[in-house]
Structure 1
Amino acid sequence: MKLYVDAKLQSLFAQIAKNNCQNLKPNVKMKVELKFTNYQLSFLNAFIADNLPASVHGEMKDRKSFIFLMNDVSCKLLKKAIEKRQEAKAFKISLKYYEAFALHQFLYLYMDYDNTERYNVTREILGVINQKLA
């Protein structure tokens, strides 16, 4: 069975599709600028090193992709720590939106509630990331 649509209706459908496609463009910044101190960055590197699994053998696909993504993020953070190790003031780190979100979720997932100093530093970092993701 064929559906016959007149030309007026076709142009109306084309106009609706064009308007909807223009409205579907993402309005989210793809880069996130995070501002950390040297202490926070060294804490982040140690936190990731302590909690990131060394092997992905036997893990589910979604967990493997998360581990690989966090591995990339940790490499960026380590490079920045090496570059800025002598600076005392806060500096910016540029991450893609999905990398910042993955870091945010990683911190929530492995947050240490027992150690108050680690908890406070983690909450500070989560606050910085959460403000930039909003």
Structure 2
Amino acid sequence: MVIDTGIFIEHLRAKDKFKTSLYMISENTELFISSVSLYELYMGASTKEKENDILLLTEDLEVLAFTDFVSIKAAQIYHELRTSNKMIEFRDIFIAATCLVHKLPILTLNKKHFKRIKGLEIL
């Protein structure tokens, strides 16, 4: 499954890490992060300590790149959402396209936006 940015942020901010969505994922579940989520996390890191926390949290995850196939899928999603007047943030479109291209579900706290995307499995 692909872990959305908000799941990581919830974990990084939590005082009790054992109660976060990320901690409750089964150990035998294969986890991925999109390159867009990785960008969002580092973009929000205002100190070296926060950057190190992100590195420790994500270093063992496979990063799914924003490839040509993902960019084409993202453009298709964009046009569908725009046509139906249900636009969401561009980075969320990029993350959703990554999931769809790799045929992976997304674990997110932002179900409201992601449910607008046809075919995306949301956990």
TM over 0.5: no
- Relative CO higher for 1 or 2, CA cutoff 8 Å, sep ≥ 6? 1
User: TM-score, normalization: structure 1?
Assistant: 0.28
